Structure 1
Amino acid sequence: MKTFFTKPLFAIAVLFLSENSSAQIFSDFIYKGNDKIYVENPLKENEFYSPVLQGCYPDPSITRKGNDYYLVNSSFSMFPGVPVFHSNDLVNWRQIGHVLDRPSQLKVEKAGFSEGIYAPDIKYNPYNDTFYMVTTQIASGIGNMIVKTKDPEKGWSEVQKLNFDGIDPSIFFDDNGKAYIVHNDAPPKGTEQYSGHRVIKIWDYDLEKDQVVAGTDKIIVNGGVDITQKPIWIEGPHLYKKDGKYFLMCAEGGTGGNHSEVIFMSDHPKGPFVPAANNPILTQRYFPKDRKDKVDWAGHADLVETPDGKYYGVFLGIRPNEKNRVNTGRETFILPVDWSGTYPVFQNGLVPMKPKLKMPDGAKNQTGQNGFFPNGNFTFNDHLKNSQLDFRWIAMRGARENFISSTKNGLKINPFTTNIKAKAPVSALFHRQQHASFEATVSLDFKPKSEKELAGITCYQSENSNYVFGLTKKEKDFYLVLARTEKGNSTLVSSEKITLSKNIRLQVMAEEDNYQFRYSVDGKNFHNLGGKVSGDILSTDVAGGFTGSLIGLYATSSNDIQP
Structure 2
Amino acid sequence: MHSMNVRNPVIAGYYPDPSVVRVNEDFYLINSTFEYFPGVPIFHSRDLIDWTPIGHVLTRQSQLDLRTTKSSSGIYAATIRYHAGRFYMITTDVRGIGNFYVTADKPEGPWSDPILLPHGGIDPSLFFDDDGRAYVTVQNGAGYESHIIQYEIDPLSGEVLSEPVNIWSGDDGPWVEGPHLYKIKGVYYLMTASGGTAGDHREIIARSSSPYGPFEDKPEPILTHRGLKDHPVQCLGHADLVEDTSGQWWAVFLGMRPVEGRYSPLGRETFLAPVTWTEDGWPMIDNNEGTVIAADESSLEEQVQRFTPEDGFGPEWAFLRAYEAERYSWTEREGSLTVRGNAYTLDDEAPAVFACLRQQHHRMETGVSLDFTPVTEGEHAGLAARLNNRGYLFWGLTCRSGRRVMELVVKNGEERQVHQYEVSGEGAVQLRLRCDGYHYHCSYSADGVSWHEVPETVHVSVLSPEVNGGFTGVCLGVHASGNGTENASPAYYEGFYYSNIKGDAL
TM-score, normalised with respect to structure 1: 0.81
Q: In the alignment, which residue of structure 2 is the partner of 1:295?
A: 233
SS of corresponding position for 1:333: strand
Choose the corresponding residue for 2:87, options 131, 154, 157: 131
Q: In the alignment, which residue of structure 2 is the partner of 1:398?
A: 322
Please report how far the alpha carbon of residue 449 of structure 1 lies from its aligned counterpart in structure 2 after TM superposition.
1.6
Alignment of 1:426 with 2:352, yes or no, is yes
Residues 1:113 and 1:351: Cα distance change in structure 2 (over 3 Å): same
Structure 1: any 5+ residue segments left out of the alignment? 1-43, 188-194, 358-374
Q: Structure 2 matches for 1:166-181, cutoff 5 A?
A: 166-181=121-136
Percent identity, aligned pairs only, is 37
Deviation by residue 1:208-266 (Cα, 9 ceiling, x = unmatched): 32233242x111112x23xxxx3211110000111111000110111010001111000
Structure 2: any 5+ residue segments left out of the alignment? 486-506
Counterparts of 2:465 and 2:422 in 1: how far apart (Å)? 34
Q: In the alignment, which residue of structure 1 is the partner of 2:225?
A: 284
SS of corresponding position for 2:103: strand
Choose the corresponding residue for 2:266, options 328, 335, 338: 328
Q: In the alignment, which residue of structure 2 is the partner of 1:249?
A: 191
Q: In the alignment, which residue of structure 1 is the partner of 2:502?
A: none
Q: Structure 2 matches for 1:31-46, cutoff 5 A?
A: none
Alignment of 1:152 with 2:107, yes or no, is yes
Deviation by residue 1:170-190 (Cα, 9 ceiling, x = unmatched): 000011111101011018xxx
Deviation by residue 1:353-382 (Cα, 9 ceiling, x = unmatched): 32359xxxxxxxxxxxxxxxxx94542231
Residues 1:393 and 1:143: Cα distance change in structure 2 (over 3 Å): same
Please report how far the alpha carbon of residue 269 of structure 1 lies from its aligned counterpart in structure 2 after TM superposition.
0.3
Counterparts of 2:98 and 2:302 in 1: how far apart (Å)? 37
Counterparts of 1:62 and 1:453 in 2: how far apart (Å)? 43
Deviation by residue 1:94-120 (Cα, 9 ceiling, x = unmatched): 111000011111111111120100000
Counterparts of 2:179 and 2:407 in 1: how far apart (Å)? 47
Read off the aligned partner of 1:312 and give its amino acid letter. Answer: W
Question: Is the 8 Å Cα contact of residues 261 and 280 (structure 1) preserved in structure 2?
Answer: yes
More displaced, 239-248 or 550-559? 550-559
Alignment of 1:210 with 2:149, yes or no, is no
Counterparts of 2:183 and 2:208 in 1: how far apart (Å)? 10
Alignment of 1:240 with 2:182, yes or no, is yes
Q: In the alignment, which residue of structure 2 is the partner of 1:272?
A: 214
Deviation by residue 1:437-482 (Cα, 9 ceiling, x = unmatched): 2111111111112323210111111122211112012344320011
Counterparts of 1:210 and 1:517 in 2: how far apart (Å)? 51
Choose the corresponding residue for 1:346, options 269, 285, 293: 285
Counterparts of 1:97 and 1:512 in 2: how far apart (Å)? 29
Question: Is the 8 Å Cα contact of residues 322 and 512 (structure 1) preserved in structure 2?
Answer: no
Question: Is the 8 Å Cα contact of residues 479 and 495 (structure 1) preserved in structure 2?
Answer: yes
Read off the aligned partner of 1:285 and give its amino acid letter. Answer: R
Counterparts of 2:287 and 2:178 in 1: how far apart (Å)? 21
Read off the aligned partner of 2:88 and give its amino acid letter. Answer: Y
Read off the aligned partner of 1:129 and give its amino acid letter. Answer: G
Please report how far the alpha carbon of residue 383 of structure 1 lies from its aligned counterpart in structure 2 after TM superposition.
4.0
Question: Is the 8 Å Cα contact of residues 286 and 292 (structure 2) preserved in structure 1?
Answer: no
Q: In the alignment, which residue of structure 2 is the partner of 1:27?
A: none
Counterparts of 1:321 and 1:332 in 2: how far apart (Å)? 17
Alignment of 1:106 with 2:64, yes or no, is yes
Residues 1:383 and 1:268: Cα distance change in structure 2 (over 3 Å): closer
* Bigger relative CO (Cα 8 Å, ≥ 6 apart): 1
Read off the aligned partner of 2:16 and give its amino acid letter. Answer: P
SS of corresponding position for 2:456: strand
TM-score, normalised with respect to structure 2: 0.90
Equivalences, count: 479
Please report how far the alpha carbon of residue 384 of structure 1 lies from its aligned counterpart in structure 2 after TM superposition.
2.8
Q: In the alignment, which residue of structure 1 is the partner of 2:167?
A: 220
Please report how far the alpha carbon of residue 329 of structure 1 lies from its aligned counterpart in structure 2 after TM superposition.
0.1
SS of corresponding position for 1:448: coil
Residues 1:531 and 1:207: Cα distance change in structure 2 (over 3 Å): closer
Read off the aligned partner of 1:243 and give its amino acid letter. Answer: K
Q: In the alignment, which residue of structure 2 is the partner of 1:31?
A: none
Please report how far the alpha carbon of residue 412 of structure 1 lies from its aligned counterpart in structure 2 after TM superposition.
1.1
Q: In the alignment, which residue of structure 2 is the partner of 1:382?
A: 306
Counterparts of 1:433 and 1:156 in 2: how far apart (Å)? 28
Q: Structure 2 matches for 1:337-376, cutoff 5 A?
A: 337-339=275-277, 341=279, 342-346=281-285, 350-356=289-295, 376=300
SS of corresponding position for 1:196: helix
SS of corresponding position for 2:441: strand
Alignment of 1:549 with 2:474, yes or no, is yes
Q: In the alignment, which residue of structure 1 is the partner of 2:388?
A: 462
Q: In the alignment, which residue of structure 2 is the partner of 1:499?
A: 424
Question: Is the 8 Å Cα contact of residues 335 and 349 (structure 1) preserved in structure 2?
Answer: no
Q: In the alignment, which residue of structure 2 is the partner of 1:528?
A: 453
Q: In the alignment, which residue of structure 2 is the partner of 1:508?
A: 433
Runs of 4+ in 1 over 3 A off after TM superposition: 347-350, 375-378
